[in-house]
A = this chain, B = another copy of it.
């Protein structure tokens, strides 16, 4: 493991435990086992370090799961329940860091620029799920008129929302109930 990797791991850890506002360069360097000055041999400044953490230390579990989805293989409802489970855990883990970017608008802007340059971002998650639902619809396993993107947003939105609420109260997601409600509809 390279020095840079150890620094990124340490930074991610300190950001998670102390919060972005209290994640100091001194503490990150100490956690990585190096001097503070060494940080600046590998990263231009603190913002550069944080952007690198955001880009290189984001857990990819959910994205991998979605990428491996294949239409026609397995029951759609069961698949969705699995996705709800994974997404809830994923958002619960990533929310604190993702959210704390909002405390520094400059950092948010820089992050957005970086995402644009790499043509990626959090929206690829609902896009990928929508693509899967679209494929299932094409196979006739979902109603013809269904709006795949709306369905993806409803499902992932509920997970995201639960992760958020979970930091303020003790709320639990019931993946089966969620999927059943979306499946049956209100009409």
Mark A residues whose CB is within 8 Å of B: 17-22, 76, 95-97, 99-106, 108, 111-112, 115, 121-123, 126, 133, 142-143, 145-147, 150-151, 153-162, 164-165, 167-169, 171, 174, 177-178, 180-187
Dominant secondary structure of chain A at its interface with chain B: helix
Q: Which residues of B contact A18 (CB under 8 A)?
A: 105
Number of copies: 2
Q: Give the chain B neighbours of A126 by CB distance below 8 A.
A: 161, 165
Return chain B residues, CB-CB under 8 Å to A146. 181, 184, 186
A22 and B104 within 8 A (CB): yes
CA distance A6 to B20 in the complex (A): 29
